């Protein structure tokens, strides 16, 4: 039932919990000083938010689909993409 989007996971409690830290980090990038801190040392910045290994790998890959698979909200993907100059799926 409903619309199915290829390559997406249904939003459920597990995905919300998994993506919480990543979304919190994405939200923090609203502030200029946080964007500068992220750009200066991505690993240290991600560690502050307790990102899972999968979430860290997804951010480093700059791959939208990987980030969405670990629960990233599309709005916060835009924040991360803005800061990293990243790309879309598979950096396309």
If you average pLDDT over residues 15-35, what whole number do you get? Answer: 94
The full DSSP string for the chain is -----TT-----HHHHHHHHHHHHHHHHTTSHHHHHHHHH-HHHHHHHTT--HHHHHHHHHT-HHHHHHTT--HHHHHHHHHHHT--SGGG-
Does 65 or 40 have the greater pLDDT score? Answer: 40
Q: How far apart are CA 28 and CA 55, in angstroms?
A: 16
Does 19 or 15 have the greater pLDDT score? Answer: 19
Please give the pLDDT value at position 5.
64
DSSP state of 90: G
pLDDT band at 14 (very low <50, low <70, confident <90, very high): confident
What is the model's pTM? 0.80
Domains of the chain, residue spans: 13-84
Look at the domain 13-84 and name its fold: Protocatechuate 4,5-dioxygenase; Chain A (1.10.700)
Per residue in 56-79, pLDDT (tens digit) is 999 999 988 899 899 998 889 999
């Amino acid at each position: 039932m409903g619309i199915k989007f290829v390559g997406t996971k249904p939003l459920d409690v597990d995905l919300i919990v998994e993506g919480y830290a990543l979304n919190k980090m994405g939200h923090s990038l609203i502030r200029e000083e946080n964007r500068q801190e992220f750009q200066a040392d991505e690993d240290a910045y991600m560690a502050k938010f307790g990102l899972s290994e999968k979430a860290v790998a997804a951010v480093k890959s700059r791959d939208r689909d990987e980030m969405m698979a670990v629960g990233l909200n599309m709005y916060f993907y835009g924040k991360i993409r803005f800061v990293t100059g990243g790309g879309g799926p598979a950096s396309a």
